[in-house]
Amino acid sequence: MRHVLDITDLNVKEVDELVATAEDIVRNPAKYAHILAGKKLATLFYEPSTRTRMSFEAAMLELGGSVISCADMSRSSAAKGETLGDTVRVVGNYVDVIAMRHPYEGAAYAAALKSPVPVINAGDGGHCHPTQTLADLLTIHREVGRFDNLTVGLCGDLKYGRTVHSLINAMLRYKNVKFVLISPDELKLPSYVLETLDKAHAKYEEIPDLEKAIVDLDVLYMTRVQKERFDDESEYNRVKDCYVLTAEKMKLAKKECIVLHPLPRVNEIAEEVDDDPRAAYFRQTLNGKLMRMALILKLVTEKDAVYRREETVSGGKCVNKKCITHFEKLAPLYKAEAENGMHKCAYCETLQKLADKK
């Protein structure tokens, strides 16, 4: 039994194997049509979703398995005060694997502490979204044909854009990948992601001007400004239209530069760009279903898999007010390995000085 809470829970070889399985599913769908007959997936979505939830459900059905779900988690016993830990302990008695989305950062880690079956993180607040990254990687593989030697531009909300954090964690494992970080000051990457880039000696530069950055890119990853993560709406209004990709701007890009977006989009890609063959974001959604099929198959059929949770130490409250530890009765835990005297919260990864237990 193992969980996929972050993309780094899958090593590079395993990602390659998932890509190979996804490609095999395209070639031989009949081979997979009944492969998980009798197995069940639960989708626990405490936050809105179209693609992730429906593609998880379609993925399990196309593997011959079944799906149970709660149409609206606010009408589950969570409304009566049931904890996330208790919920997954119960649901884990009914299914073989759980895909879970939650608005609070580190919620997937909290669920995995209690779950008797594999937990797949389908997005935890502004933290990470590993299966979106699997969709992104299959799209890069199919459209560009390599993961090495790429210049990847990440544009928009790099602060709250969980898909950006997971994609960086995945791509920095490949050779000669350069990241171009395109955002206003208010939406720059969180310090724990920058620290990961620095620790890996990854090449990156910050260029706030999209027109300037676009000319060198092999992949342009556009993101929506995540309105739901802002505490102050006026702050959101100030940055919401900071980047809009248009057909005019696409003229500046290389002829083979692909455009990705996890979707949903609001204003950040003009609809006229959809007709550009380099716009790969709708193909990306199909790739998400294929990679979720490959991942579910792996987790449900894997024998002797062990989830290697990093060693942790205890401490005081996490400084991140959006961390799940502020909303559920959970012992604060920190990754044991410190960086410059700072520890990462084991749930949400926010870097901090270890406060005394209170």
The residues that touch ligand CP, with contacts defined as CB under 6 A, are 49-53, 123, 132, 262-264
Looking at beta carbons only, is 123 or 332 nearer to ligand CP?
Answer: 123
How far apart are CB 80 and ligand CP at their closest, in Å? 26
Find out whether 346 and 334 touch, Cβ atoms under 8 Å: yes
How far apart are CB 168 and ligand CP at their closest, in Å? 16
How far apart are CB 262 and ligand CP at their closest, in Å? 4
H-helix or E-strand containing 157?
none
- Secondary-structure percent of the chain, ordered helix, strand, coil, rounded to 5: 40, 20, 40
How far apart are CB 82 and ligand CP at their closest, in Å? 24
What Cα–Cα distance (Å) separates residue 262 from each residue in 16, 21, 33, 228? Answer: 21, 22, 27, 16
Among the listed residues 137, 159, 166, the one whose alpha carbon sits nearest the alpha carbon of residue 150: 137
Looking at beta carbons only, is 1 or 54 nearer to ligand CP?
Answer: 54
Looking at beta carbons only, is 56 or 147 nearer to ligand CP?
Answer: 56
Looking at beta carbons only, is 132 or 287 nearer to ligand CP?
Answer: 132
Residue 334 in 3-state DSSP? strand
How far apart are CB 18 and ligand CP at their closest, in Å? 18
- d(CA 186, CA 184) in angstroms, rounded, equals 5
Looking at beta carbons only, is 29 or 264 nearer to ligand CP?
Answer: 264
